[in-house]
């Protein structure tokens, strides 16, 4: 792997989400759930890694390592903490991050929704509320000062709509991602698509300079012997319906961590001897190439950006090994015709992994009480692959 492996202009970034990094998102539904007595959420997010205050340090780390792009999230519950009550201070905060990124030579990619909702919206039925699309568009409209700040290039409307559509099953403990992805709720699937399409239309009407897409969780589902049809049937509701719905977008984000091998009976075959990561997923770096090849076939001409890829490990040499192999598989998929425009690593920082502090995905370690950031060798290593992308 060398800086010349990827074409000039290829986006080279890190990714981070709002709730997982900011801390104290007290007006959100996840905060409420985390703090209920007897909560099923094992460990609280709390201060997270305090990126709400320490974002300049985070930007410095990414820029100094050599990255060209920076994906971060905006938290709806901060922008609209009560129904209809907009926080201009929160909007100004996110605008400062955009300006800070641009000042450091980083192109911002902004995520509008990453699993968390304002508590008032969740209490009113969340996405099932008949006014959900309009309420979300109201939030999007309120972000005009952020989206019009010089330098915002890309917007990811919804992070992993296919995971949003299984969140009720995950939150109730009914399903466990280590056993594979449950079937997304069909109603939520259609609502996610409606929210996304309406948001793309609104952004194109009001901010025509932006490139807009969404980020789909796409794992490398491989057909075991005789299981081709079962694999296709497994993938269709889990990610392919979302990839197809990106038609007409400027890009579609592919977010890949592992593979699943399908048995002839239509269920995933879990190998008890496979090497695993801290999240229990199989350590299988080449999943990235496999997922990108399938996404390219299904998204039918929409350019791809890898908006998340990474590994939960306490051993940074293993992270470098994983990422090297993942990037080789990505390059091979591109050589075979996949139109991939960039790669964002999940994640810049070790951060809150939806109920757990154990899995560490970061290129940078964070002390849980002082929040001091300590770069791991993988930060400089991955950043050093970027310069060719700048030319």
Which one of residues 14, 25, 77, 159 is an interface residue with ligand BGC (CB under 6 A)?
159
Which of the stretches 23-31, 45-53, 78-86, 157-165 binds ligand BGC when contact is defined by CB under 6 A? 157-165
- Binding footprint of ligand BGC, residue count (CB under 6 A): 10
User: Please, which residue, 366 or 389, has the CB nearer to ligand BGC?
Assistant: 366
Task: Mark 62-91 with x for binding to ligand BGC (rule: CB under 6 A) and - for no binding.
Answer: ------------------------------
Q: What is the DSSP letter of 182?
A: P
Q: Minimum CB separation from ligand BGC for residue 88, in Å? A: 28
Q: What is the DSSP letter of 107?
A: E
Terminal-residue alpha carbon distance, the chain: 18
Task: Mark 202-241 with x for binding to ligand BGC (rule: CB under 6 A) and - for no binding.
Answer: ---------------x------------------------
Identify any residues that bridge with 159 across adjacent strands, giving them in sequence order. 215
Tell which positions 247-286 bind ligand BGC, by CB under 6 A.
Answer: 255
The single residue listed with the structure tokens 């996110």 is 94
Q: Minimum CB separation from ligand BGC for residue 145, in Å? A: 26
The single residue listed with the structure tokens 């992994």 is 353
Q: Is the dihedral angle over the CA atoms 176, 180, 183, 185 positive or is it negative?
A: positive
Question: Six-digit token pair at 216?
Answer: 């789909």
Half-sphere exposure of 186 (CA within 13 A, CB side): 1
Which one of residues 11, 13, 17, 262 is an interface residue with ligand BGC (CB under 6 A)?
17
Which of the stretches 32-40, 91-99, 155-163, 316-324 binds ligand BGC when contact is defined by CB under 6 A? 155-163
Task: Mark 349-368 with x for binding to ligand BGC (rule: CB under 6 A) and - for no binding.
Answer: ----x---------------
Q: Rounded to an integer, what distance in angstroms lies between the CA atom of residue 184 and that of residue 163?
A: 7
Residue 218 CA, distance from chain mean position: 11
Q: Minimum CB separation from ligand BGC for residue 48, in Å? A: 12
Cis peptide before 347 (omega within 30 of 0): yes
Examine residue 34 and tell whether it contacts ligand BGC (CB under 6 A). Answer: no
Q: What is the DSSP letter of 367?
A: -
Q: What is the DSSP string of 301-334?
A: TPPEEEEEE----S-HHHHHHHHHHHHHHHHHHH
Which of the stretches 76-84, 158-166, 319-327, 371-379 binds ligand BGC when contact is defined by CB under 6 A? 158-166
Q: Minimum CB separation from ligand BGC for residue 92, in Å? A: 25
Residue 149 CA, distance from chain mean position: 22
Examine residue 162 and tell whether it contacts ligand BGC (CB under 6 A). Answer: no
Which of the stretches 156-164, 168-176, 267-275, 368-376 binds ligand BGC when contact is defined by CB under 6 A? 156-164
Contact 191, 230 (CB under 8 A): no
Q: Which residues bind ligand BGC (CB under 6 A)?
A: 17, 20, 159-160, 163, 217, 255, 308, 346, 353
């Amino acid at each position: 792997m060398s800086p010349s492996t990827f074409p000039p202009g290829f986006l080279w970034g890190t990714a981070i989400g709002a709730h997982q990094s900011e801390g104290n998102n007290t007006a959100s539904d996840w905060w409420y759930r985390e703090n209920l007595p007897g909560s099923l959420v094992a460990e609280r997010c709390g201060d997270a890694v305090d990126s709400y205050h320490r974002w300049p340090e985070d930007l410095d780390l990414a820029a100094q390592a050599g990255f060209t792009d920076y994906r971060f999230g905006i938290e709806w519950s901060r922008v609209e903490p009560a129904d209809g009550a907009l926080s201009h201070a929160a909007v100004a905060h996110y605008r400062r991050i955009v300006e800070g990124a641009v000042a450091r030579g980083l192109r911002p990619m902004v995520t509008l929704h990453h699993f968390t909702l304002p508590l008032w919206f969740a209490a009113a039925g969340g996405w099932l509320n008949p006014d959900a699309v309009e309420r979300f568009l109201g939030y999007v409209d309120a972000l005009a000062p952020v989206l019009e700040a010089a330098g915002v290039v890309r917007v990811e409307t919804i992070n992993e709509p296919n995971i949003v559509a299984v969140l009720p099953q995950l939150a109730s403990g009914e399903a466990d991602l280590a056993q594979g992805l449950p079937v997304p709720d069909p109603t939520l699937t259609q609502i996610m698509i409606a929210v996304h399409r309406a948001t793309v239309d609104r952004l194109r009407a009001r901010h025509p300079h932006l490139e807009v897409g969404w980020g789909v969780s796409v794992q490398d589902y491989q057909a075991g012997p005789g299981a081709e049809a079962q694999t296709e049937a497994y993938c269709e509701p889990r990610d392919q319906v979302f990839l197809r719905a990106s038609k007409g977008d400027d890009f579609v984000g592919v977010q890949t961590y592992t593979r699943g091998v399908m048995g002839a009976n239509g269920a995933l075959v879990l190998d008890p001897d496979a090497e695993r990561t801290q999240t229990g997923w199989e350590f299988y770096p080449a999943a990235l190439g496999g997922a990108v090849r399938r996404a390219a076939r299904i998204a039918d001409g929409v350019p791809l950006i890898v908006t998340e890829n990474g590994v939960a490990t306490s051993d940074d040499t293993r992270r470098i090994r994983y990422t090297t192999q993942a990037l080789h598989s990505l390059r091979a998929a591109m050589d075979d015709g996949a139109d991939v425009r960039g790669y964002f690593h999940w994640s810049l920082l070790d951060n809150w992994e939806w109920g757990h502090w154990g899995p560490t995905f970061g290129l940078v370690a964070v002390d849980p009480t002082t929040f001091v950031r300590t770069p791991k060798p993988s930060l400089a290593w991955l950043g050093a692959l970027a310069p060719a992308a700048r030319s």
